[in-house]
Structure formats: structure tokens, C-alpha cells
Amino acid sequence: KLIGILRSLNRRVEDERSLLKLKGIGERTVQKTIEIAQTGNHRRLELISEEDKVQNSFMGIYRVGNVFAVKWYRLGLRSLRDVKKLKGDITLSEPQRIGLKYYDNLQEKMMIKAIRDYWCGEQNCIGAHRIQ
């Protein structure tokens, strides 16, 4: 909302009082704007960023999608260690348990050639021509 109002102005806003005079802009919005202008960030944005990092690490576990990641975060889990300890009385399916056990291995990138060599060896492999 603030961005739209500021874009519609034909002048530059220099101080807090000028912001407060704008219709539709309240004290809290002004305080947030000042914090962002002074620090280049806002504490709520940092919290959101941290939440995303934690949820993304959860989604690195095999068979854990956004629904589980959000649920676990809301239950207070903040690390893979919390998941391993089954904090918050969570239960893991067998594939999730295995995915957690091999989490680090599953995060590593493998070269397609290495995969082809592993599965096909020196012999001709059906469909190997599709793997480049």
C-alpha cells in the first residue's frame, strides 16, 4: 500500500512528518519504513527468512513437502536435530525416517555420467543414449 502511495507522489518524502501526512499511512507503517530506510532491512523480514531456511531444510528430507515443513515449524521444530528427536510428538513415515538418516548423502549433487557409469558400467545400457 505504501509503495503505491509513494509512487503516485510527484515529490520526494524527506521525513517522518511528511509520511504521516499521507492519507492511509499510519504510525506503525512509518516506523517500519524508517527502520528499512536506516538499516536496509526489517526484523520481521529476517524472521521470515529464518523460517524459510528452516522449512527448506525440512523439505530436504525425502517425502517431506511444504505441508509437513510448515506443520513442524509451527510445532516448534527448528532443526534437523529436532526432527531426529521427534520433538513435538511428530511421527515419521518409514521413507521419511530413511530420508532423514541419509539426509546429507541425498543433498549431494551427482554427475549424470557418474550415475550412468554406476548403473550401466561398461556394457550398453537401455536408454543410456538419453542421459547426457
Known catalytic membership, residue 53? no
With beta carbons less than 8 A apart as the criterion, state whether 22 and 10 touch: no
Catalytic residue among 32, 101, 109, 113: 32
Residues 6 or more apart in contact with residue 55 via CB below 8 angstroms = 66, 69, 70, 73
Torsional sign, CA 45, 69, 71, 84? negative
With beta carbons less than 8 A apart as the criterion, state whether 31 and 39 touch: no
Task: Tell me which residues are annotated as active site.
Answer: 32
